[in-house]
Amino acid sequence: MTFGERLYELRKNKNISQEELAELLDVSRQSISKWENDKAYPEMTRLLFMSEYFDVSLDYLMRGADSDESNNDLTVGYKAQNMLRVWNNFISNLSDKQRKLIMILYILLICVSVAIVVTFLYGAGYAIGQFIGHIQNDLKM
């Protein structure tokens, strides 16, 4: 089986169109068609993204070789590194406006997380205070 045939099979198994994959990879639909017909090959960053997206090894994606199960721990670390590389590549390709929006989202996420923690701590403290108050009232009677 060729790279193009594997890509076609992975895309169909994921139930996405050439257009949807092209949008994810920031390429044209024609590029996906060329890849699937083995007339061209994607760049390494796109191969890394596809490896993560389809949850297959680069070995399988490029050569059709199944990954060795005995290297499972190494594979997890390797996938984490690939995800970081893909994320860094994604961030580096954003425009300044998009980077600012991502930073705003990060800040909002942090604020919401802090608010949830504070709310939980306040509620827990209130409940403990109520419990202690009930015990003190019971002891005074």
Q: Which tens digit of pLDDT belongs to each residue from 2-37?
A: 999 999 999 999 999 999 999 999 999 999 999 999
* Per-residue pLDDT, 70: 42
Q: Are residues 19 and 73 in the same domain?
A: yes
Q: Answer for the pair 36, 21: CB distance below 8 angstroms, yes or no.
A: no
Q: Are residues 82 and 123 in the same domain?
A: no
Residues 6+ apart with CB under 8 A from 83: 52
CB atoms near residue 21 (< 10 Å): 22
CB atoms near residue 20 (< 10 Å): 14
DSSP state of 69: G
Q: Are residues 8 and 50 in the same domain?
A: yes
Instruction: Show which of 93, 114, 131 is a domain's final residue.
Output: 93
**Residue 31 structure tokens:** 């590029």
Summarize pLDDT for 67-85 with one digit per residue, the tens: 554 455 555 666 777 777 7
Q: Are residues 86 and 106 in the same domain?
A: no
Q: Are residues 127 and 137 in the same domain?
A: yes
Q: Are residues 74 and 107 in the same domain?
A: no
Per-residue pLDDT band for 56 (boundaries 50, 70, 90) equals very high
* Per-residue pLDDT, 104: 95
Count of domains observed in the chain: 2
Q: Are residues 83 and 119 in the same domain?
A: no
Q: Are residues 69 and 106 in the same domain?
A: no
Q: Are residues 89 and 108 in the same domain?
A: no
* Per-residue pLDDT, 78: 63
Per-residue pLDDT band for 131 (boundaries 50, 70, 90) equals very high
Summarize pLDDT for 87-108 with one digit per residue, the tens: 777 888 888 898 899 999 999 9
What average pLDDT does this structure show over 130-141? 87
Q: Are residues 5 and 71 in the same domain?
A: yes
* Per-residue pLDDT, 63: 85
For residue 26, the number of C-alpha atoms closer than 13 Å in the C-beta half-sphere is 8
Question: Is 0.75 topped by the overall pTM?
Answer: no
Q: Are residues 26 and 84 in the same domain?
A: yes
Q: Answer for the pair 22, 32: CB distance below 8 angstroms, yes or no.
A: yes
pLDDT greater than 90 at residue 111: yes
Q: Are residues 112 and 141 in the same domain?
A: yes
**In terms of residue numbers, what domain contains 19?**
1-93
Domain CATH code at residue 46: 1.10.260.40
